[in-house]
Structure 1
C-alpha cells in the first residue's frame, strides 16, 4: 500500500504515545509490587550505592561500571561483616587499604577479587581502593550475607593537583600513591585529586596536550566536559611548565596561558586558594610569578606563588636526570608543601604533625629502612621483624646519638669506618664519643638476632644530631636481593650473625641492598609441632604472626635466593608435601616480584634435592623462565662449619664466593 505524506509523522506520534503509556504503566506496576526502577539500594555495594564515595573524576554514567578518568582517583566506603571482595571486569592492578592499613597491591587480578583472604573481626570496617593500571573499571563490591556498606566518615575539604609526570608520581614504585600530591593530601587530612598525566604541558603545542584546556575534561584524553557540580576544590595546586620548553613554547605564550588558566580556575572554583608551584627544574619561573602577580593585581587575593628552591637535593632525591623525584623526594616535597597549603586553608585542613618526619625521627624520608620494618603501627617507633634488616642515613654535624626504647644489641658503622658492636645498651646511645670532623657523614645500623628473634628491644626511636644539623639521603644501590631461609641464612654461630652471613656478604659484594627473610629453626612447610613454615610466612610482615601481610609495594627484589629444607626432615615433612610447598613458594615469590630472578639452592646437607629440582622444573615448564636450581655440592668442607650444620665465618665467605657470581651473571652487578 502506498503511504501518504502524513502517515510517517502520525506513526511516530502513535509510537511516542505508546512509549509514554508503557512507561507509566511500568512505573505503576513497580509501585504496586513494592519495586523501584533500576537504582541502587543504599548498602548493596553496587556502583550506584550512595554509600560509596568516588574521589576524583569518575565516569559513573552507566550505573554498572565506574571508570576513573585521571590518575590518583580512588573510592572509599565502610562496610559491615568480616570479608569484602571487589568485582573487576578484566585484568587490573589495584591497591586496597582496609581500616586505614597499608595499601595492599593486587597485581593482574580479575573477576571477583578477595581483599580479605584472612577474614576481619566482626564489626564495621573502612575500605579505600585506587587503581594503578590495566582495565581500571570498578563493578561493585561483594559483602558477607546480611552485611552492607555504610557511609564513610570522609573529610569535607578537597585539594586538587594539576600537573605532569611529576604530579602523577612517574618512576616511583607505586606511582600516584608515592607522589607528592597524594602524600600532601594525606598530610592535610583532605580528599585529593590528581589531574595529571606524563608528558602533558600547560600550552597545547606540537602534539603535547595542554592542561590549560584538558583540565576541564572528564578524562585525561577525550572531549567530554567534566561536571564541576560533582565536587568543589578548596585548593588547587598547579605544577606545570617542565615539558613546555621542549615543545617550543615561548615565555610570552606561557605567561599568557598561565594567566588565563588561573582566571579560568577562579571562575570554576570561586572560593578556592590557587597555588602556582615553581617547577623543580626552574622553568618559566619569571612567567609563572608574573601570572600570579597579574591575578593579584586584578583583585584575586587567593592566588599564591610557591618557591620550591632548595626543597630537593640533586641526585639523592631523584630517580633520574629528568627531574622525577624518587619516593623520598616526593615525601620531602609533601612535607614542605603541606604546611604552605594548610596555613592558607585554616580549619579546612588539619596538617598532621611533621614531628615524625623531622630530621632523624623515624618518619624522616632521608632514613632508608631496608628489609621488613613495621613503619605503620607507630609514627615514633619503627620495628624490624626479620634477620638482617638495617637502616642507612646521611647526616651533617660532628655527633650522632641513637634513641632506643629498651635494652638491645646492635652494630653501627659511620662513614667507611669499622663496624662497632654495642652490647646491652638502652636509652640515648652516643655513637660518636669522639666527635667527627665537620662535614657530611653516613650511618648504618642493624640489630643483633639470635635464632631469628631480635635479642632485646629492637625498636628504632630516632637520632639526635648537633644543633642546626640535618639529614640527607645517601646514594642508594639500584638493586635489591632477598635471601629466604633458616638459621644458616640468619648467620647463626657466626661472629656478627646477619652481618657475617652469606646473604649480607653477597649484597655488599654486588653493591646491592639486601634482606634476609629468615628465621632460625624455620622449615619450608608449617609443621604440626610448631615449626614456622616460610611457605606461609614469606608474605608476612612478622615471621611469628599470621597478620598483617607484608606490603610488597614497599620494595621490589631483583633476585630472591631460597635456601630451605634443612629443618623439614626433623619435623616429619614428606617428600610430596615438600615439593608441593616449594612449588607454592615459587609462585608466591613470582607474584610478589614479577621480574625477579629466583634461585633455589640445594641445601648444604643435601636434603629434599630431587623435590627442589622438580619444583624448579615445574615452574620453568609452566612458563617461568627466570627460576634456577643451584647445585651446591662440594661448596663447604668440614673446616667451614661451626658444627655439622652451621657455616662459620669462613664458610659463609666460601658460599658468597661461589654464589655471588651465579647471581651477578643473571642480574648484573
Structure 2
C-alpha cells in the first residue's frame, strides 16, 4: 500500500513539473530582456508608446510569440519584424487583448520586433507583455546597435501618405508607414538605432496647429507640456533636422489662425526666420554637444528652384560657426502630395550618399 502511495505521489509530482515546464513564458513590460528604442514611458503596468518609430525587440528560442496591447483610440499600426524581415502589419484595437505576432516558426533562435509606424496624433499605445509559445525560452535582450541617429521632422519624416497609391495624399493611419520613411531607411542602412521626434504639420516658427518644434522637441509624452524627456537616455551620433516645409506655406497665409497667433498681421521677415532656425539648432546642440548635425530640407516644394528656404538654413548655420553642423538639401520631387514609397527611397539614397561622404562614426 505504501509503495502504491509513493508511486501515485511520484507520478503526480513529476506531472506537475512537466506541466510547469510547458507553461508559456511571459515577459512583462519592464522585463530586462526587452530592448526598447525611442521615447517610451514606463508605468508599473505597461510601457506607453507615442512616437513614430518607437520599437520593442526580443530574442527567444522557440516557434512564436504574442503580445498583449491596448490602443488609446484603435488607430495605430505596428510593423512586425522577425529575424530582420517584415512579416506582417497589425492594426490595434482600443481594448486590451493579445495579438499573435509570429507562429509556426522553425525551432531555434529568433528575434522579434514591434515597430510603431504611425504618429502620436493617432493616440498612445499601451504594451503590457510578450507571451512566448509553449516550450520557448526567452533569451537576453538583443544587443543594442552601436550607432545612433535621431530625426527631427514633419510629415515627410513620419511617412505621411507614403502608402496611398491613389493620388489622394491621405495621411490617415492605414496609409502612413514610418517604417519605410527615408529616415527609417537611412537608419537601417547604417545599422543604427533610430529615434523619430517628428509630427506631421509641424514647423519651427509656425505649424498647422498650436504647437511648434521648439515647444515639442524636449517632450517624453508629446501631448503633455509638463512631460520632459531626459536627453541623457539617448545620445545620438548624428542628428538630422528636416523642417521648414510647413513654415514655407503658412507664412504666406495671413488668414490662417496659426499665422495670426504666431505673427499677428504681418509675415515674419527673413531675419526672424533665420534667427528662429538658428535658435532651434542651438537648442539641439546644447543637449547633444558631440553630435554631428545635418540641417536638411526636402523633398517637397521648399527646395524647388527659387525657394528662399534653403538659403535661410544656410545663413542660420553659417552664423552658428560650428564645424559639426552641415547643410544638405534634397532636390524637389516635382510631383503632387507627399513623398511616395519610391520617393522616400530616393530621399534615403540621397541622404545616405551625403552621410557616407560627411559623417564620421
Question: What range describes the TM-score normalised by the shorter chain of this pair?
Answer: 0.7 to 0.9
Residue 216 (structure 2) pairs with residue 524 (structure 1): no
**Alignment counterpart, residue 108 of structure 2, candidates 405, 417, 439:** 439
3-state SS of 1:513 partner: strand
Using the alignment, how far apart are the partners of 1:372 and 1:538 within structure 2?
A: 11
In structure 2, the residue matched to 1:423 is 91
| Alpha-carbon distance change, 460 to 531 in structure 1, aligned in 2, over 3 angstroms | same
In structure 2, the residue matched to 1:385 is 50
Using the alignment, how far apart are the partners of 1:459 and 1:403 within structure 2?
A: 9
| Alpha-carbon distance change, 544 to 454 in structure 1, aligned in 2, over 3 angstroms | closer
Residue 355 (structure 2) pairs with residue 656 (structure 1): no
Residue 234 (structure 2) pairs with residue 555 (structure 1): yes
In structure 1, the residue matched to 2:333 is 637
Task: Please tell me whether the aligned partners of residues 202 and 246 of structure 2 are also in contact (alpha carbons under 8 angstroms).
Answer: yes
3-state SS of 2:245 partner: coil
In structure 1, the residue matched to 2:31 is 364
Using the alignment, how far apart are the partners of 1:657 and 1:636 within structure 2?
A: 14
In structure 1, the residue matched to 2:312 is 611
Using the alignment, how far apart are the partners of 1:518 and 1:411 within structure 2?
A: 18
The offset of 1:437, in angstroms, is 2.0
Using the alignment, how far apart are the partners of 2:279 and 2:53 within structure 1?
A: 25
Gapped regions of structure 2 (runs ≥ 5): 1-24, 164-175, 252-266
Cα deviation per residue 1:495-531 (whole Å; 9 max; x = unaligned)? Answer: 252111100000011111111111011111256x734
Task: Please tell me whether the aligned partners of residues 201 and 209 of structure 2 are also in contact (alpha carbons under 8 angstroms).
Answer: no
Using the alignment, how far apart are the partners of 2:295 and 2:66 within structure 1?
A: 41
In structure 1, the residue matched to 2:69 is 404
TM-score of the two chains, using structure 1 as the length reference: 0.42
The offset of 1:492, in angstroms, is 0.3
- Superposed counterparts of 1:28-47, under 5 Å: none
TM-score of the two chains, using structure 2 as the length reference: 0.76
| Alpha-carbon distance change, 513 to 588 in structure 1, aligned in 2, over 3 angstroms | same
Using the alignment, how far apart are the partners of 1:614 and 1:460 within structure 2?
A: 44
3-state SS of 2:63 partner: coil
- Superposed counterparts of 1:28-427, under 5 Å: 360-375=27-42, 378-406=43-71, 407=74, 408-425=76-93, 427=97
Structure with the bigger RCO (C-alpha within 8 Å, sep 6+) is 2
Using the alignment, how far apart are the partners of 1:664 and 1:552 within structure 2?
A: 26
The offset of 1:359, in angstroms, is 5.6
Task: Please tell me whether the aligned partners of residues 510 and 664 of structure 1 are also in contact (alpha carbons under 8 angstroms).
Answer: no
In structure 2, the residue matched to 1:536 is 215
Considering only CA atoms, is the larger Rg found in Structure 1 or Structure 2? 1
Task: Please tell me whether the aligned partners of residues 220 and 229 of structure 2 are also in contact (alpha carbons under 8 angstroms).
Answer: yes
Gapped regions of structure 1 (runs ≥ 5): 1-357
Task: Please tell me whether the aligned partners of residues 442 and 474 of structure 1 are also in contact (alpha carbons under 8 angstroms).
Answer: yes
Using the alignment, how far apart are the partners of 1:550 and 1:665 within structure 2?
A: 32
